[in-house]
Amino acid sequence: MCGRIIIKKSIKIVEEQLNLEPQQNLHDFRGYNIGPGAMAPVLNANKKFEMMRFGLTPFWSKKNMLLFNARSEGDFNKENDPTYSGNKGIFQKPSFRKPIRSQRCLVFVNGFLEGPEKEKLSKPFYVFDEKNEFMALAGIWDQWVDKESGEEIKGFSILTTVSNKATAAIGHHRSPVRIPESQYYTWLKAEHLNELSPLLEPWAPDTMNAYPVNPEIKSPRSDDPDLLIPQGDALIKRKGIEFVTEFDTLGFGRKKKL
């Protein structure tokens, strides 16, 4: 599960690295504990950032919902077996089968919160990338209209898969699907499902880590950056590695606009 995301740096960094059209009205946005129901900037298929609610409601739903995660395996792999390599059931799920086909987005975050399967966010960890400032999580979105008020609500869900090394070290059985930079365009614009299936896997590069943070961040009302200060050592120990923050320029490079 990925129910809290962190954006502590300006999305201007992403725009400049990927040579995107600036959305200056969003450059000052920060969210140190973004949970379901909160707003966050996501990158749409037109390669522009726009604000959407964390938690989608299917367009056909009779009531407002907050579906903030979408299992890539759908109803398969209920045991969360990390070696699962079967069908991606999300393509058949009623709530997600339309968005996964034509309404995909990228959720750029500096990190996210996760906890052990039993303690959950009573024992929170901040998950981040040791080499990159931002991670691009696979998202899908939908737009729901409140028939009584006429209000239109765009909301997004983050796709999840089985645990990667960082979430496994925490003791959690799931992880968000992360899209490599070389596949950003594929995720946003692919027309065939067979192009998407290979992307719905745990993050393999050995660049992610996690450290414990203040349990007060469990409250969805907490939005204090000091709560993200490490309360202990990183879970994954490495030797002889210098960590830097940088973006590769594969696919969405500076050489030309997309």
pLDDT reported for residue 258: 40
CA 50 to CA 67: how far, in whole Å?
19
For residue 56, the one-letter residue type is L
Mean pLDDT, the chain, integer? 93
Residue 243 has pLDDT above 60, yes or no: no
Q: Which CATH superfamily is domain 4-228 in?
A: SOS response associated peptidase-like (3.90.1680.10)
Dihedral sign for Cα 78, 84, 90, 92, please: negative
pLDDT for 244: 40
| 234 pLDDT more than 60 | yes
**Under 8 Å between Cβ of 209 and 128:** yes
| Residue 154 · residue 160 · CB < 8 Å | no
Residue 44 gets the label, from left (phi > 0), alpha (psi -120 to 50) or beta, of beta
Evaluate if residue 254 carries a pLDDT over 90. no
pLDDT on residue 239: 73
Percent residues over pLDDT 90 in the chain: 91
Which pLDDT value is given to residue 248?
A: 38
Residue 250 confidence (pLDDT): 37
More confident residue, 238 or 141: 141
Residue 118 has pLDDT above 50, yes or no: yes
Whether the Cβ atoms of residue 71 and residue 200 lie closer than 8 Å to each other: no
End-to-end CA distance of the chain: 32
On the question of pLDDT at 120 being above 80, the answer is yes
pTM above 0.75, yes or no: yes
pLDDT higher than threshold 80 for residue 247:
no
Q: What is the DSSP string of 185-244?
A: HHHHH--SHHHHGGGSS---STTEEEEE--GGGGSTT---GGGGS-SS--SS--SS----
Task: Please tell me whether residue 11 adopts helix, strand or coil conformation.
Answer: coil
pLDDT at residue 240 in the model: 57
**pLDDT band at 238; cut points 50, 70, 90:** confident
Which segment of 110-114, 183-187, 247-251 scores lowest on mean pLDDT? 247-251
Show the tokens assigned to 242: 């210098």
Mark 54-88 as b/e (b = at least 16 C-beta within 10 Å): bbbbbeeeeeebebbebbbbbebbeebeeeeeeeb
Both tokens of residue 110?
Answer: 């500096």
Residue 40 has pLDDT above 60, yes or no: yes
Q: How many Å apart are CA 258 and CA 242, to the nearest integer?
A: 32
Mean pLDDT of 178-196: 97
Domain map of the chain by residue range? 4-228
Span 74-94, pLDDT tens digits: 999 999 999 999 999 999 999
Please name which of 63, 142, 135, 131 lies closest in space to residue 100, comparing C-alpha atoms.
142
Across 120-126, average pLDDT: 98
**What count of residues does the chain have?**
258
- Token pair 């707003």: residue: 39
The rounded percent of the chain whose pLDDT value lies above 70 is 93
- Decide the pairing of beta strands 174-176 and 152-162: antiparallel
